[in-house]
Amino acid sequence: MDPYPKLRIVNVTNENVTQYFPNVANIRDFKGYTLNIPVQADVPYTLLYKNPTTSEYEMDGIGGWIVKELMRRLNVTLNVYPLNWSNSNYLYITHIHKMLLSGEIELSPHMFTTVVSRDLDYSYPYVASSLCVMAPVPKRESINLLGFFDYTLCLFLLLMVVANEIIWKLYWHYLPRMHLSRPFLPYCSLYVILVFLGIPLPTWRIRPIRSLRLCGFLRILLFFFILTYCGMYISQIFSSNLSSYLTASYLRGPSFQLNNIFESEVPLMLSSYMANTLRELYNLTEADMYKYFVVASWDVIEYHRVALNASYMYLVPSPIFELIAEQQRYLDPKRFVTTQICYGTFPYQMQLRADSHFTDLLYEFILHLRESGLHIYLKTDLLQRARKFGNFNYIRDENSSESSYGMTFTFNTLTVMIFVLAVGYSCSLVAFVWEWYGQRICQIWSKKRCKLMLRK
């Protein structure tokens, strides 16, 4: 059993959640009072859709659902309509504040951080979240197998092999004078292949060490030195470098620090207010601001963020990134990840007119939601409702998966693992066949050579 269980609200009765929803104290009947609600796109806080049955606009989302359920109990008629500003339906909080101050609207369902304004009222904070940097995932690094070879070491060992072959080629010219046997002469042409594949050579009739001269002992020692370091050392260096790289790159994942943000080639897109705040916080110059940041309006930022444009980094609260993470559920690799670089803790609240009749009622209504935990239960099917109404959908990018698997002798991680496994099995198979049929192959080869010599 989990020592730290999570408390979840389950609808055991299978009844509608509105039937046992907490009632607001001193609730009043507004007798069909019409309340104008302009809605802009700000998923998951507010979303707008047209009811196919009534052909009227309705709102949903975190803030939209709260306002809709409260007004249903207060007997208030909602006049929901889309709000476009500068040919855009993305959230533009400045214009909404102007509408509240002018008395055109009384309440806004949009969740936004507290803006100091004495002429507006705010609801009870529904969400408290920090603004964290959402950065695009670095491109998958392609692995070049040639880069794992130590060419200096390979060249040195190759020169040793060549020198050894030259010495032994010259040695056989003086062998008749020395009257020594040469039992491993038939395998001279296979020295380098067998050594680099790590295949044991056939058993040789080597004279006892006591009867060997110093020159013969050094010759055998040199050969086994070449055998060990040419085959085993190079193969172990290659496999250990490759294995450590694959393990580190697979387990490490993308990590971001503040220095990585400033050193990254991808700029951070943010509003002018946040740019000035960061400039004062880190004592940045105008040149640094131009290099690290891209200052844009809210509608431009929302346009690029909703499109998941990987050319920029963004500041997003955790509820919005949960939505983005759900959108990337079927993407491999992901486009964006959230970092631990966060700024502040901001309460997300609704804005009301200063003399609004709904200030106290909305305050107590949200307070009951938070105390009862129903906001967690209602959040579970929010994404499904947004997908149903056409305000949210999963991203399936076929081009990204195709472009990240190019093979020109550079392999991605999985292909490298399969490649190394195939090479290992192939070499093991060759070694097994040689150990099993090596002597028979040598006998057949020696018989063919004898026949050729007899014919000559």
- For residues 348 and 86, the model is more confident at 348
Out of 86-90, 98-102, 300-304, give the one with best mean pLDDT: 98-102
Torsional class of 145: left (φ above 0), alpha (ψ -120 to 50), beta (otherwise): alpha
pLDDT (mean) for 141-165: 65
Quick one: pLDDT at residue 318? Answer: 82
pLDDT (mean) for 52-76: 87
The model's pLDDT over 311-368, given as tens digits with 9 standing for 90+, comes to 898 988 888 888 888 888 887 778 888 887 887 788 888 989 988 888 888 888 888 8
Residue 26 CB partners (closer than 8 Å, separation 6+): none
Quick one: pLDDT at residue 27? Answer: 62
Amino acid at 346: F
Quick one: pLDDT at residue 107? Answer: 92
- For residues 405 and 192, the model is more confident at 192
pLDDT (mean) for 91-117: 83
Q: For residue 19, report the phi and psi dihedrals to the nearest 5 degrees.
A: -75, -25
With b for 16 or more beta-carbon neighbours within 10 A and e for fewer, the 2-27 pattern comes to eeeeeeeeeeeeeeeeeeebeebeee
Q: Is the pLDDT confidence value at 36 over 80?
A: yes
Quick one: pLDDT at residue 105? Answer: 92
- For residues 358 and 456, the model is more confident at 358
Q: Is the pLDDT confidence value at 273 over 50?
A: yes
Look at residues 225, 286, 226, 281 and name the one whose alpha carbon lies nearest to residue 258: 281
Q: Is the pLDDT confidence value at 426 over 50?
A: yes
Write out the DSSP string of 190-248: GHHHHHHHTPPPPP--PPPGGG--HHHHHHHHHHHHHHIIIIIIHHHHHHHHHHHHHHH
The model's pLDDT over 237-267, given as tens digits with 9 standing for 90+, comes to 667 766 766 665 554 555 566 666 777 778 8
Quick one: pLDDT at residue 80? Answer: 93
Q: Dihedral through CA 360, CA 361, CA 364, CA 369, nearest 10?
A: -150
CA–CA separation, 436 vs 253, rounded Å? 45
Residue 342 CB partners (closer than 8 Å, separation 6+): 130, 131, 132, 133
Q: What is the mean pLDDT of the chain?
A: 73
Determine how β-strand 268-270 pairs with β-strand 313-317: parallel
Q: How confident is the model at residue 175 (pLDDT cuts 50, 70, 90)?
A: low
Q: How confident is the model at residue 409 (pLDDT cuts 50, 70, 90)?
A: very low
pLDDT (mean) for 139-145: 58
pLDDT (mean) for 151-159: 70
Q: How confident is the model at residue 38 (pLDDT cuts 50, 70, 90)?
A: very high
Read off the tokens for 342: 């966060």
Q: Which helix (H) or strand (E) holds 334?
A: none
Q: How confident is the model at residue 406 (pLDDT cuts 50, 70, 90)?
A: very low
Q: Is the pLDDT confidence value at 416 over 50?
A: yes
Q: Cα dist. 159→154, 156, 172, 231, 293 in Å?
A: 9, 5, 20, 14, 55
Q: How confident is the model at residue 227 (pLDDT cuts 50, 70, 90)?
A: low
Which domains does the chain show, CATH number per domain? Answer: 17-128+347-388 (3.40.190.10), 143-251+411-455 (no CATH), 252-343 (no CATH)
pLDDT (mean) for 102-111: 90
pLDDT (mean) for 421-428: 79
Q: How confident is the model at residue 275 (pLDDT cuts 50, 70, 90)?
A: confident
Look at residues 382, 346, 325, 340 and name the one whose alpha carbon lies nearest to residue 127: 346
Quick one: pLDDT at residue 171? Answer: 62
Out of 83-92, 161-170, 186-195, 251-260, give the one with best mean pLDDT: 83-92
* Assessment of whether the complete model's pTM goes beyond 0.85: no
Quick one: pLDDT at residue 106? Answer: 92
Torsional class of 53: left (φ above 0), alpha (ψ -120 to 50), beta (otherwise): alpha
Residue 368 CB partners (closer than 8 Å, separation 6+): 22, 24
pLDDT (mean) for 5-20: 57
CA–CA separation, 296 vs 302, rounded Å? 10
Q: How confident is the model at residue 13 (pLDDT cuts 50, 70, 90)?
A: low
